[in-house]
Amino acid sequence: MPRPTLPAGDLARTVVFAAFIAVLGLFPGLYVGGSGVPIVLQNAGPLLAGCVLGARRGTASVVLFLALTAIGLPLLSGGRGGIAPFIGPSGGFLIGWIPSALVVGLIVARLKRANLPVLLLAAAAGLVVDYVFGITYLGVYTGDLGAAAVQSLVFLPGDAAKVVAVALIGAVVHRALPGKLVGS
Ligand code: BTN
């Protein structure tokens, strides 16, 4: 009976994107607002993964990145890794990167085009999904959901800029490599 295999190209793209998310972690996190959750560049990675690789491969690249982090590789901003970041205040945001990439990829696939408006919508939706996971978890972690939501407002300006940057980069990639990268 033939065994299901992951095409080598899919695997390569997944690994390359996981590495790209790790590179974004070289930018140091900025701790403002008192929640213990840093402002990072790295959360642009899962959004771009969904935009460029699509739902299946984009999500796989985020899962791979988070798995490597969880087993101890220092891939998060500031060279952090291991289980601690997942059970600390950032835990919900980190886990939220998985459904975030998934939702971005699904929206791009459902709307059947990858132009700037679609990518803006998809990336913004992916960000909202991450906020839902992150703020809910932070609220449970601190025992104050309202404070968690207010403290997270500090992320909005930077994240809005990341959504625009991700959509622009995604649109350029799709234009340069039509049909080559994205697939759900
Ligand atoms: C970590 O490195 O410990 C986790 C980072 C999670 C940061 C979240 S992602 C959404 C929001 N935007 C940011 O810039 N930071 C938070």
Domains and CATH numbers, the chain: 8-176 (1.10.1760.20)
- How far is residue 15's CA from residue 49's CA, in Å, rounded to a whole number? 11
Band of residue 2 on the pLDDT scale cut at 50, 70, 90: low
- How far is residue 77's CA from residue 158's CA, in Å, rounded to a whole number? 16
Measured by CA distance, the residue closest to atom 13 of ligand 1 is 39
pLDDT of residue 3: 58
**Cβ atoms within 10 Å of 115's Cβ, excluding its own:** 14
- Whole-number average pLDDT of the chain: 93
155 token code pair: 């992320």
- How far is residue 176's CA from residue 38's CA, in Å, rounded to a whole number? 34
Measured by CA distance, the residue closest to atom 15 of ligand 1 is 39
pLDDT of residue 178: 77
% of the chain beyond a pLDDT of 90 = 86
- How far is residue 151's CA from residue 135's CA, in Å, rounded to a whole number? 9
- How far is residue 138's CA from residue 144's CA, in Å, rounded to a whole number? 8
pLDDT of residue 33: 84
SS3 80: strand
pLDDT of residue 29: 95
Ligand 1 shell residues, CB under 6 Å:
29, 37-40, 43, 76-77, 85, 90, 93-94, 130, 134, 155, 158-159
- β-pair partners for 30: 39
Pocket test for ligand 1, best of 27, 40, 48, 80 (most atoms within 8 A of CB): 40
**Cβ atoms within 10 Å of 70's Cβ, excluding its own:** 16
Q: Kindly report the pTM of this predicted structure.
A: 0.93
Cα 31 to middle of ligand 1, angstroms: 10
pLDDT tens for residues 10-41?
889 999 999 999 999 999 999 998 899 999 99
Q: Which atom of ligand 1 is nearest to the CA of 41?
A: 14
Q: Which atom of ligand 1 is nearest to the CA of 77?
A: 2
**By the 8 A CB rule, do 100 and 126 touch?**
yes
pLDDT of residue 10: 84
Tally the residues of the chain: 184
pLDDT tens for residues 38-92?
999 999 999 999 999 999 999 999 999 999 999 999 999 999 999 999 999 999 9
Q: Which atom of ligand 1 is nearest to the CA of 43?
A: 9
pLDDT of residue 182: 57
Cα 10 to middle of ligand 1, angstroms: 27
84 token code pair: 């601690």
Rounded mean pLDDT, 109-114: 90
